[in-house]
Structure 1
Amino acid sequence: MLAAQRRDELLERLRTRGRVVAKEVAAELGTTEDTVRRDLRELAAAGLCQRVYGGALPASPATADLAARAGLATAGKAAVAAAAVRLVPAGGTVLLDGGSTALAVARALPPWLEVTVVTHSPVVAAALVEHPRAEVLVLGGRLFKHSGVTCGAATVEAAARVNADVLLLGVTGVHPAAGLTTGDAEEAAVKRALAARAAETHVLASSEKLGTASAHVVLPLSEVAGIVTDAPPEHPVAAALSAAGHRVLHA
């Protein structure tokens, strides 16, 4: 089998099965594990898969910068946002992560809702300038321009002084095996720090993120209260998450 044919086969398996195990594929295709791993390295370099121990998972399409993500799956993000705002308690404190789905949540907060919003996203904070009853607190730190959020030690220290009722967490990948992932290590660390300060964490997961993975683990699925998604209950990954005992809230 030619190299191009092998790579096409690997991509098809990622699409239909949700993962590639190098040892299994090598045996089925009559080639070596080293050859399969080399193919996976090339696919990963092209952004077409996320390498993990023993093989690969589908790469998240949500690792582009904030401007590019703003135009990705807008209807799905709006649906997720509309469902997520129902998790925000009136008079309470919500930690709102950065990213395009979190921005959609900020815009969807009803104007009558009295709430304190704590965020490390200046973009999200700016979206709430005209909200008449929202108190907005911005966590400082180094601006990570790719995602439009602050990060680093200063952000983590600022988060440690916050107590919140709920965190609405943005990630780039939600996978039954890999858990919750994102594309930057510092950003992942800040997300964990935010989760540690909230009574419960809900994940904002439009359907294109389900079944995909990025390089850096944020949290295992067992540490969140729920996953808010626009995917229908029969979506294979949503169904697998529900079957594993994870709470999936369908928008």
Structure 2
Amino acid sequence: MLAAERRDHLLETLRRDGKIVAKTAAAELGLSEDSIRRDLRELAAEGLCQRVYGGALPVSPALADYDGRRRVAVAGKQLVAAAAVRLIDPGSTVILDGGTTALAIASGLPADLRCTVITHSPTVAAALVEHPVAEVFVLGGRLFKHSAVASGAAAVEAAQQVSADVFFLGVTGIHPEAGLTTGDADEAAMKRALASRAAETYVLGSSEKVGAASPYRVIGFDAVAGVITDADPGSDVVRRLGEQVRVVEAGR
């Protein structure tokens, strides 16, 4: 089989099954697992898959830059944000992660909702400037421009000084096997620090992130209260997620 044919077969398997198992692909094509792993390395280098132990998963479209992500799954993010707002109790303290779904939460807070919002996102903070009663605390650090958030040692240290009732966590990949992942190691560390400071953590999971994976693990499903998603509840990946964590259906 030509290299181009192998590539097409692997990409079709990824599209159809939502994953590539190297051992299975090798048996189907009559090749060694080393050959399949080499093909997967090349596909990953082109951004066409995310390599994981034993094979590969779909790469998350949420790895695009901040401006690009603002145009991805806009309706789904609005549904997820609306469901998240319903989980915020009056008078509570909320940590909002960075990202476009968190920005939708900030924009969707009712004008009469008294709460305290802690965030390391300048864009989220700016969206709350005109909110009549919400108190806003901004955590500082090195600006990670890709996601428009503060990160690095200074930001993690600042995060360790706060406490909250709930944290709304943004990730780029949500997969029943790969877990909750994101595209930058420092950003993953900041998310872990924020999650450790809240009584409950909910994952913001618009459908394009569900079934996808990114390079860096954030936290385990056992550390979150639920995944808020607009993904099809009847899909296999959501069903498998539901076996590990509460799935909060957005817009249903």
On whether the aligned pair clears a TM of 0.5, the verdict is yes
Equivalence for 2:142: 142
Q: Deviations over 1:180-224 (max 9, x none)?
A: 000000000000000000001000000010011000000111211
Provide the rounded CA distance (Å) in 1 between the counterparts of 2:65 and 2:79: 21
- Measured after TM superposition, the shift of residue 33 of structure 1 is 1.4
Structure 2 distance, partners of 1:232, 1:23, is 29
Q: Distance in 1 between matches of 2:13 and 2:77?
A: 27
* Gaps in structure 2 of 5+ consecutive residues: none
Query: What amino acid maps onto 1:49 in structure 2?
Result: C
Q: Which residue pairs with 2:228 in the alignment?
A: 228
Deviation at 1:232, TM superposition (A): 2.8
Q: Does 1:96 align with 2:96?
A: yes
What amino acid is aligned across from residue 162 of structure 1 in structure 2?
V
Distance 1:119 1:62 in 2: 20
**Alignment identity in percent?**
67
Code of the aligned partner of 2:48? L
Paired residue total: 250
Residue 13 of structure 1 and its aligned partner are, at CA, apart by 1.5
Q: How does 1:93-242 map to 2 (within 5 A)?
A: 93-242=93-242
Tell me which stretches of 4 or more aligned residues in structure 1 moved more than 4 Å: none
State the distance in 2 between where 1:135 and 1:162 align.
14
Greater alpha carbon shift after TM alignment, 51-60 vs 195-204: 51-60
- Quote the Cα distance in structure 2 between the aligned partners of 1:42 and 1:86: 44
Aligned-pair CA distance for 1:236: 2.2
Q: Note the aligned Cα RMSD (angstroms).
A: 0.9
Shift of 1:164: 0.3
In the aligned structure 2, how far is the partner of 1:28 from the partner of 1:232? 30
Q: Match of 2:86, SS?
A: helix
Q: Distance in 1 between matches of 2:235 and 2:131?
A: 35
Provide the residue aligned with 2:25 in structure 1: 25
Which deviates further from its counterpart, 18-27 or 151-160?
Answer: 18-27
Give 5+ residue unaligned stretches, structure 1: none
Q: Provide the C-alpha distance between the structure 2 equivalents of 1:81 and 1:194, rounded to a whole number of angstroms.
A: 19
Q: Is the 8 A contact 2:221 2:244 kept in 1?
A: no
Cα distance in 2 for residues equivalent to 1:95 and 1:89: 13
**Residue 245 of structure 1: CA displacement?**
3.9
Distance 2:228 2:16 in 1: 23
Answer yes or no: is the 8 Å Cα contact 2:176–2:244 preserved in 1: no
* Structure 2 partner of 1:248: 247
TM-score by length of 2: 0.97
Amino acid of the residue matched to residue 26 of structure 1?
A
2:56 aligned partner, one-letter code: A
More deviation in 13-22 or 45-54?
A: 13-22
1:249 CA drift (Å): 0.6
